[in-house]
Structure 1
Amino acid sequence: MISTIGLVGALALLIWMTVRGVNILIAGPVAAALVAATSGIAWLPPLAAAGAPDFATSYMAGFTGFFGNWFFMFLLGAIFGEVMGASGAAASVAHWIIEKIGIKHAVLAVVAACALLTYGGVSVFIVAFSVYSLAVSLFREANLPRRFIPAALCFGSVTFTMTSAGSPEIQNLIPMQHLGTTAYAAWEVSLVVAILMAALGFVWLQHMVKRAVARGETFEGRDTDDVVDVGRVLPNPFLCLLPLIAVLGVFMIFQYPQQLGPLSAIMPAESLDKWALVAALGSGTLIALLVGLKSRAKMPEAFSKGATGAVVAITNTCAVVGFGAVASLSPAFQEALILVQNLPGDPLIGAAIAVTVIAGLTGSASGGQSIALPLIAPHYIDAGASAEELHRTVAIASGALDSLPHNGYVVTTIRAICGETHADAYGPVGALTVIVPLIGLAVALGLFAIF
């Protein structure tokens, strides 16, 4: 009982501190320490029994593990975004989009850019870095409140694309190894749900933005924004699209070397996902430098800002990952796993609840799947669930409560990339990344029940 109160209380405390603006590097360890204190986990290694876990070691294992796995991707992603801004590439594309499709479609352009990169395989953590400069330029041109930029970035990245059939994101790939399915499992239902989430979310986002504009909200510039020089000659917009195309194209080439002959001998397939992204972001940054050659004097500062931003962004995420590592050790968490594993009724509904709850507790969609699937997959398959339907249910379910305020991607996007506060920006983010996916999950379950 004490462990349960501690786990729930720690999660509530973490969310409260995050929303109140407490630095996540402080909020994460404090909340994790509360979990340890109420779960009988020693705070320091000398206080732990032989072979028993302790708070400090477990927290830092989660923290440094994520840092080691993702630092180069965060670094190159942040530098890429800064170079796109400093070179004038983001502004040029923004001007072109406004000219061709109209200023009223600025939000759609941001969402579409994120969706394209996400479905192309670029990690959701990197998409926000890559599109942020473009988003700022578009919102500035359209004079829209910049507090909605995080919502546009998150909606385009972690909803209708991340968990859809065919998506190369890890949230769609993890079920394959446990269920023996393909990335296109239950694609018919996935297509319906994706279209529904895309349409519903976009209409809702547009409605929120229009209401804010009607109240008098406008775009507010910052000293850290790229300087807008009215007389500046921007690069050709079609050339400026090349860096984004390079990121997507190079990633896909290196991700599927078995189809491209010699590449399969250069890099083993099991190492491709991560390092393909490094190659892609490096290529995109190089092309962005060439496109913005006339602005080369600004590049040293862009690289410096990108490096600093990358460290802030990844450590924010690591702080939440560390909390999840400690939370998963608590007796209450283990009891929750047993409980969700034995939920009665429709196997798909049980699986959806299990993954949704665990993703919410850990603040991670992939974490929720990785923890839940080894336990529930055999049980629900034996209970008669279709492997393909279970795959799609689990994928969609993982993308709902994972986006609570303490989620690493949410914290990184709102605070480190966009420089907003949760108080200003999380409302739209939560509506689009929690409520919309939950509606999509309900529709998917309904369609599976009917057909």
Structure 2
Amino acid sequence: MLGMLGLLLGLLLLIVLTMRGVHIIVAAILCSTVVALFGGLNLETALTQHYMEGFTGYFASWFLIFLFGAIFGKVMEDTRAAESIADWVMRTFGSTRAVLAVVAACAIMTYGGVSLFVVGFSVYPIAVALFRHANVPHRFIPGAMAFGSVAFTMTSPGSPEIQNLIPTQFFGTTPLAGGWIGFLVGFVILISGALYLKVAVRRAMAAGEGFNPPEARQGLVRLSAGSAVQETAAAAEEGAARRLPPAVSAFIPIVVVIVTLNVLAKVMSSTAAALVSLAIGIGLAWVLMWRHVRRFWGSLAVGAQDALVAAANTCAVVGFGKVAAQVPAFKSVVDALTSIPGPDLLGLALGVTLICGLTGSASGGLGIALPILAPLYLAKGVDPGAAHRVATLAAGGLDSLPHNGYVVTTIRAICGETHQRAYKPVFVLTVLVPLLGMFLAVVLYSLF
């Protein structure tokens, strides 16, 4: 009983601390301490062995993916390729389809392996200009960006995102695992989310709500003159006067990364294929847009720093999950999930998404859940490709609770919004809709 209480308190504390701005590494260690004490674990063993085993084990397995991915994203940012893609998408869709344009711009870049945060900072200034012109409520920008960035691109077959690569290690699959059902579910998520956005925005505007950026609401967010929102909006309006690389040149590295990854994954490990494809993408971006390369070594240095921060933050929650996994109550939860009546894939899906919710991280949750769950379900004879796709879709469900690092950064740091104003659309688009996709995948894989 105390162990279960400790797990719940640890999760609640992790959510509260991260939402209040406490660094995730500090928060994870504090919450691990709570879980260990309530679970009857030796505190020294819990922190110096279990926590650090989870932290260092995940780092050793996936740091190079973080490194190459961060450098690729930084190169796409420094060469202004990401901005060129965003600008092209926005001009193609126009201000009358402002919301759809934001979703499309984010989806194209994240499916091509560009970092979530690079995409966010590249798309936001142009989104501000479009939303203002169409008088669409500003509070929907975080939801549109998050939906395009994480709801279906990171969980669809062929994606180079780490959430689609981790399952390959445990199921012996490739990034294309899951076949046509995986693509179909991704399409259903896209259509469902787009319909929700259309209806929600229309209702808000019908109720008299306009663009209304954060500083317009007294008592919510007070931004001084020269604030990030004002500066990025002004920068977006000056976009026509700035030189950007041709959109074709900007798209080529992304296309090459996707194609190379999925071709090479047939002849080598998916991790190796991802590293090679990202390295080729980095080289191509430099060659095709060399006139826009201002700091060759600077891109590498900043990319490496970004990789260290992203990897360490994820490792911190994996360490927390590793401690939680040592508590007997955790095993009871796993046993209950694996014995749920119905398709075997249902237990796998629920187990993965609950652990991702516990950690507030899709990749971190997969790193904790799959070493435990994958052997159990493979032993039951579950199809590895179906298990891979269901696990990836499940990781994109409860991971986006309020304490998720990407959610906090997008709402507060990039968009200058608050959870009170902006989180509802984010929740629907990155939690509810993906969960519906997860359950649909379980049904389809069980039938076909």
**Fold similarity call, TM over 0.5:** yes
Task: Write the distance in 1 (CA, Å) between the matches of 2:308 and 2:57.
Answer: 16
Partner in structure 1 of residue 164 of structure 2: 172
Distance of aligned partners of 1:281 and 1:409 in 2 relative to their CA distance in 1, 3 Å threshold: farther
What letter corresponds to residue 187 of structure 1 in structure 2?
G
Q: Does the aligned pair in 2 maintain the 1:29–1:59 contact within 8 Å?
A: no
Distance of aligned partners of 1:39 and 1:131 in 2 relative to their CA distance in 1, 3 Å threshold: same
SS of 2:157 mapped into structure 1: coil
Distance of aligned partners of 1:37 and 1:288 in 2 relative to their CA distance in 1, 3 Å threshold: farther
Partner in structure 2 of residue 163 of structure 1: 155
Partner in structure 2 of residue 346 of structure 1: 343
- The CA deviation string for residues 59-95 of structure 1, in whole angstroms up to 9 with x for no partner, is 864797699543564466357436639xxx83x7666
Bigger drift between 397-406 and 69-78 goes to 69-78
- The CA deviation string for residues 99-118 of structure 1, in whole angstroms up to 9 with x for no partner, is 54320222222222222233
Please list, as runs of the form range in 1=range in 2, the aligned pairs for 1:119-158 lying within 5 A after superposition.
119-120=111-112, 122=113, 126-143=115-132, 144-158=136-150
Task: Write the distance in 1 (CA, Å) between the matches of 2:203 and 2:161.
Answer: 33
What letter corresponds to residue 2 of structure 1 in structure 2?
L
Return the offset for 1:422. 3.4
Please list, as runs of the form range in 1=range in 2, the aligned pairs for 1:271-290 lying within 5 A after superposition.
271-274=272-275, 276-277=277-278, 280-281=281-282, 284=285, 290=291
- Whether 1:223 aligns to 2:227 is yes
Distance of aligned partners of 1:327 and 1:280 in 2 relative to their CA distance in 1, 3 Å threshold: farther
Please list, as runs of the form range in 1=range in 2, the aligned pairs for 1:351-370 lying within 5 A after superposition.
351-370=348-367
Partner in structure 2 of residue 425 of structure 1: 422
Listed as ranges, the gaps of 5+ residues in structure 2 are: 215-224
- Whether 1:84 aligns to 2:88 is no
Match of 1:108 among 95, 100, 105: 100
Task: Write the distance in 2 (CA, Å) between the matches of 1:229 and 1:119.
Answer: 24
Listed as ranges, the gaps of 5+ residues in structure 1 are: none
What letter corresponds to residue 426 of structure 2 in structure 1?
V
Please list, as runs of the form range in 1=range in 2, the aligned pairs for 1:279-428 lying within 5 A after superposition.
280-281=281-282, 284=285, 290-291=291-292, 317=314, 319-381=316-378, 383=380, 385-428=382-425
Q: Does the aligned pair in 2 maintain the 1:185–1:389 contact within 8 Å?
A: yes
Return the offset for 1:432. 0.8
Task: Write the distance in 1 (CA, Å) between the matches of 2:315 and 2:376.
Answer: 32
Please list, as runs of the form range in 1=range in 2, the aligned pairs for 1:57-76 lying within 5 A after superposition.
57=52, 61=56, 69=64, 70=66, 73-74=69-70
Q: Does the aligned pair in 1 maintain the 2:78–2:299 contact within 8 Å?
A: yes
Return the offset for 1:434. 0.9
What letter corresponds to residue 198 of structure 1 in structure 2?
L
CA RMSD, Structure 1 to Structure 2 (Å): 4.3
- The CA deviation string for residues 278-334 of structure 1, in whole angstroms up to 9 with x for no partner, is 55356547766724x8xx7x9999999999987776665555444334333433334
What letter corresponds to residue 245 of structure 1 in structure 2?
F
Aligned positions, number: 429
Distance of aligned partners of 1:132 and 1:249 in 2 relative to their CA distance in 1, 3 Å threshold: same
Match of 1:244 among 246, 250, 260: 250
What letter corresponds to residue 108 of structure 2 in structure 1?
L
SS of 1:396 mapped into structure 2: helix
- Whether 1:19 aligns to 2:16 is no
Return the offset for 1:28. 3.2
> Identical aligned pairs, as a percentage?
38
- The CA deviation string for residues 379-414 of structure 1, in whole angstroms up to 9 with x for no partner, is 445545444443333332222112222334334444
Task: Write the distance in 1 (CA, Å) between the matches of 2:340 and 2:236.
Answer: 61
Distance of aligned partners of 1:145 and 1:42 in 2 relative to their CA distance in 1, 3 Å threshold: farther
Q: TM-score, normalised by structure 1?
A: 0.75
Distance of aligned partners of 1:349 and 1:230 in 2 relative to their CA distance in 1, 3 Å threshold: closer
Q: Does the aligned pair in 2 maintain the 1:42–1:53 contact within 8 Å?
A: no
Partner in structure 1 of residue 49 of structure 2: 53
Distance of aligned partners of 1:354 and 1:269 in 2 relative to their CA distance in 1, 3 Å threshold: closer
Task: Write the distance in 1 (CA, Å) between the matches of 2:355 and 2:420.
Answer: 25
Q: Does the aligned pair in 1 maintain the 2:314–2:361 contact within 8 Å?
A: no
Bigger drift between 61-70 and 414-423 goes to 61-70
What letter corresponds to residue 402 of structure 1 in structure 2?
D
Task: Write the distance in 2 (CA, Å) between the matches of 1:417 and 1:344.
Answer: 43
Partner in structure 2 of residue 234 of structure 1: 241
Q: Does the aligned pair in 2 maintain the 1:35–1:327 contact within 8 Å?
A: yes
